[in-house]
Amino acid sequence: MSEELLKLEKLAVFHGSFQALWDVSLVVRSREIVALIGANTSGKSTLLDTISGFLHPSKGTIEFQGKDISGMDPFKIVDIGITQVPEGRRIFPDLNVLENLILGSYNRRARGEREKNLERVYTLFPLLKSRKNQQARTLSGGEQQMMVIGRGLMSSPKLMLLDEMSLGLAPVVLGELYKALREIRERGITILFVEQNVRQSLQEAERAYVMESGRVVLGGDVAELREEEKIRKAYFGV
C-alpha cells in the first residue's frame, strides 16, 4: 500500500450557522485517482473548498503529507502542492490562453518550473498551444475546461482536486478529458475528482467515496462499490 497523501479525519464544517459537513473522513493515497460522488448539495464542493482552505473545519483535521493544514489560507494550500480546478471553470475571461496558464504558475515554487510545465501542458493539450494568443472567453466549453486543467498543472501540484468538470460537455470531449487525467496521473500527480455522473466516475476512478447530505456514507474500491446494493439501486436502477 502506498503512502497516504491526504487524510481527512472527522471533519465538521459550517456555513455560518448551517452545518454543511458532518464527521467526514477519507483518505487519498499517492498516485491514486479517487472519485467523490453524490447528488447536488450533498457537500462535495464544500469538501473541496475546505481542503483548498476557503472554509476552515470547526472540528477534525486535514493532513497533507503528514502535516496538519486545516487552518491554512487558500494561497498557502497552493504553495504546498494542492491545486483545485473549480466548478464552472472560472477562467480569466479577459486574458488570453497563455496569460491564463501563466497565472497558474504564480506560486513561488512553480515560477522556476514555468517553461517546463508549459511544455508539458502543451504536450497534453496540443490545442492550447495553437490557441495560446486567443482570448479565453472565446474558447468553447471543452477548450476552457482543458485550459483550466492546464492552469492547475502549471502550479506543479502533487494533488489535483477537480470539481464537476463534466457539466455541459459532450461525451466525446469528456472522454478526451478523462484520458488526459490518466496521463496526468502517470506523471505522478494524484487526483481527487467530484462528479455527479456515477457510472462514469466508477469507470474512471480506482476508489470512490459516496456523499449524502454532508456525510460520507460509503467508500472503497470501485469494483466493490459497484456491487453495493445501495449504489445499484440508487444509480443503476437494478
Partner 1 sequence: MIDLISTIIMGFLLGGLYALIALGLSLVFGVMRLINVAHGDIVVLGSYLGYAAMTILGMDPILSLFFGIPLMFALGLGIQKFFLNRAFKVSMEAPLIIAFGLSIILQNIYQIIWSPMSRGLTTSYALKSFNIGEIYFPLVYILDFSIALVVMIFLREFLRRSYMGRAINAASQDRKAAQLMGINTDRVFAFTFAIAMALAGVAGICFGLTFPFVPTSGMSFLIIAFGVIVLGGLGSILGTFIGGIVFGLTQTLGSYFFGVNAQLLVAYLMVLVVLSIRPQGIFGRQG
Pick between residue 106 and residue 122 the one whose CB is nearest to partner 1: 106
Residues that bind partner 1 (CB under 8 A): 52, 54, 73-75, 78-79, 83-84, 86, 90-95, 99, 102-104, 106-107, 110-111, 151, 155
Pick between residue 39 and residue 80 the one whose CB is nearest to partner 1: 80
Pick between residue 141 and residue 220 the one whose CB is nearest to partner 1: 141
Task: Compute the least distance from the CB of residue 235 to partner 1, in Å.
Answer: 30
Task: Compute the least distance from the CB of residue 157 to partner 1, in Å.
Answer: 10
Pick between residue 154 and residue 208 the one whose CB is nearest to partner 1: 154
Task: Compute the least distance from the CB of residue 122 to partner 1, in Å.
Answer: 19
Task: Compute the least distance from the CB of residue 211 to partner 1, in Å.
Answer: 22
Residue with cell 487558500: 74
